[in-house]
Structure 1
Amino acid sequence: MKSFALLAAFALALTISTSALAQDSKPETIPFEGGNFTIVENAEGEKVVAYEGKEIARNYVAFLDRTVEVAGTKVAMFAVGDGGNACSPETVLAWKTDAGIQSTTVGDGECGTPPAAATGDNIFFVPYPLPGETLPVKAWSPEGGLLLHGNLAYEPQPGTDWADLDAKQFEDGIVAAFKNEAVYKAAQQLLGDGMPEFATSLLVSGGTEKLPSGAFYASGCIPHACGGGNGFMAIDAKAQKLYLAQQTETEPKAWPALAEWPAEFRGALTKALADE
């Protein structure tokens, strides 16, 4: 009971000190178009972004990314999000009209906002598609708002073949092997529409390991979900074949079927999954 009372007292003191710190923290002031944005932490630990007292956004992380000029209008771009590394922040755009400060959030509940590129007339939000994936590119302007501009598809490097492969190319992650056109086409035949999901299972990956035959392999996992659905990719450039697998609660899913894998590759898969 004594230890529980001490813990409760400590928790209360921490709450009081955190609240006092939030109340005492001075707002960050950002001059903008004849007024000021402020970013101040509230008692709940949220950062509140406001313009001359009018709130435009709040979350646990909030900071000014940059100010740009689009179609003659100055636009402040704020990064606002939950914090941590599970999702990137969303982008909050703020600009001033005769009616006062205006704002919009780009993201609509998605996991963050794609990186932004500003031109003279638009701010483009450009995604990073995975192998086999096509994602929308959106553009924002003061007059038109946020509109679909087009689609961006992942493509391998044209003309690259099995002979161009070198295990050293993939020390930062074997998912980069999909940039090889021969590998991409072989994976597409094996995985079909499941290629983006499989590629996700390799995004957190270390270097490759070589097999006696000269083939190489690597394993990886889904960002922020390692240990569930881990991926495995082996490349046999001489035979021009891929061996792909993904962890499940029972036997791994495999492309081609595990029964068709040479013993060397089955052994590498067993070792990779055991090391996870």
Structure 2
Amino acid sequence: MRWAISLLAAGLTFAATAFAVAQEDQPSSIPFAGGTLSIKETADLDKILAFDGKELARNYVVYYDRTVDLDGTKVALFAVGDGGNACGPATVIVWKPEGGELKTETVGEDCGAPPAAATEDGLYFVPYLRPGSTADVQSWSPEEGLRVVGEMRFTPQPDTKWADIDPAKITHPYDLFANGDFYDAAKKVLGDKLEDVALALSVSGGPDKTASGVLYGSGCIPHACGGGDGFFAFDQKTKAVYFAQQGDGAEPDAWPALDTWPAEIREAMKKSIQQ
């Protein structure tokens, strides 16, 4: 099965901030399976998830999501992760099979791990997608554990053209990638670097404008701002796109070649990211 979606920048913004808000007003203990699940903060400011005093998980971010009933089995869901810009936590699944011992399973790597969607008999993990990326859709149930059920790929909004881009509505670089014409131009310029440069623009905001009206902006990699930062520019008049990323050379890597860039855009790039 192959699914196609477009990623809205709002989704990443939610991932970056939701767990910080969710930790407020959290219960310190949750009755579960004849015992108690607890979350306690240590002197080092990390948090410990435990069941009747036995540690199950530990990290800077730990919060209770919810308890769901999957075909008669109670399953508690917790978000556990490092925190950080544009990073979502992993999901720790806690359940107790009938007549068995308490079990846990962790789903998703930190920074981009999808939250769980529950049905009557299972959980589904639908990933956030950056431009140029593909990722597995996973399911989990007490009987079958974690399984891959499909693949998703990033796709811009259908039938969107250059004329559909409204600079006033661009709040994140990914809003531009959601436009079909922009996405095609970016793929042509970046080639196999598309996903890398999109990652370098993950932590970002709305664009600025040069004196002539060229849109431009910069961003960075979650948990790694200051190393591998990215830059983009878009000239609506000429329908030209420009990208750069910090690299190992004296100047940032650039697509197209930096010596073909208009001076105004080169200057905007130099002010936006430091090499």
Which protein, 1 or 2, shows the higher relative CO under an 8 Å CA cutoff with sep ≥ 6? 2
Provide the residue aligned with 1:210 in structure 2: 209
Asked if residue 244 in structure 1 is aligned to residue 243 in structure 2, the reply is yes
Greater shift after overlay, 182-191 or 194-203? 194-203
Deviations 1:9-57 (A, max 9, x none): xxxxxxxxxxxxxxxxxx9331123332233456776544333455433
Q: Could you say which residue in structure 2 is the equivalent of 1:103?
A: 104
Residues 123/85 of structure 1: CA separation in 2 closer, same or farther (3 Å cut): same
Contact map agreement 2:87 2:222 (CA 8 A) in 1: no
Partner residue, 2:129: 129
SS at match of 1:143: coil
- What are the equivalent positions in structure 2 for 1:7-18 lying under 5 Å apart? none
Unaligned stretches of 5+ in structure 2? Answer: 1-26
1:26-175 matches, cutoff 5 A? 28-41=28-41, 47-82=47-82, 87-97=87-97, 98-107=99-108, 110-111=110-111, 113-170=113-170, 172-175=171-174
Q: Aligned runs of 1:197-276 on 2, under 5 Å? A: 197-248=196-247, 249-273=249-273
Contact kept in structure 1, 2:38 and 2:49, CA below 8 Å = yes
SS for the counterpart of 1:205 is coil
- For residue 106 of structure 2, what is the amino acid of its counterpart? T
> What residue identity is the alignment partner of 1:106?
V
Partners of 1:216 and 1:60 lie apart in 2 by 37
Q: Distance in 2 between matches of 1:66 and 1:192?
A: 42
Contact kept? 1:201, 1:230, Cα under 8 Å? yes
User: 5+ residue gaps in structure 1?
Assistant: 1-26
Measure, in 2, the Cα distance between the counterparts of 1:188 and 1:67: 42
Q: Find the structure with the greater CA-based Rg.
A: 1
Quote the Cα distance in structure 1 between the aligned partners of 2:43 and 2:243.
50
Cα root mean square deviation, aligned: 2.6
- Normalised by the length of structure 2, the TM-score is 0.79
Whole-angstrom distance in 2 between the partners of 1:93 and 1:229: 34
Kept in 2: contact 1:67–1:76 (CA 8 A): yes
- Name 2:177's counterpart in structure 1: 178
Counterparts in 2 of 1:118 and 1:45: CA distance versus 1, 3 Å: same
CA distance 1:88–1:143, change in 2 (3 Å): same
Q: CA deviation at 1:216?
A: 1.8
TM-score (normalised: structure 1): 0.78
- What does the per-residue CA deviation read over 1:146-194, in whole Å, with 9 as the maximum and x for residues that have no partner? 0111111111011111111122122x32232100100000000111121
Whichever residue aligns with residue 103 of structure 2, its letter is Q
Provide the aligned length of Structure 1 versus Structure 2.
Answer: 247
Letter in 1 for 2:148: L
Q: In the superposition, relative to structure 1, how do residues 207 and 86 fare at CA in structure 2: closer, same or farther (>3 Å)?
A: closer
- Aligned counterparts of 2:101 and 2:90: Cα–Cα separation in 1: 23
CA-CA distance at 1:220 after TM superposition: 2.2
SS in 1 for 2:188: helix
**SS of residue matched to 1:269:** helix
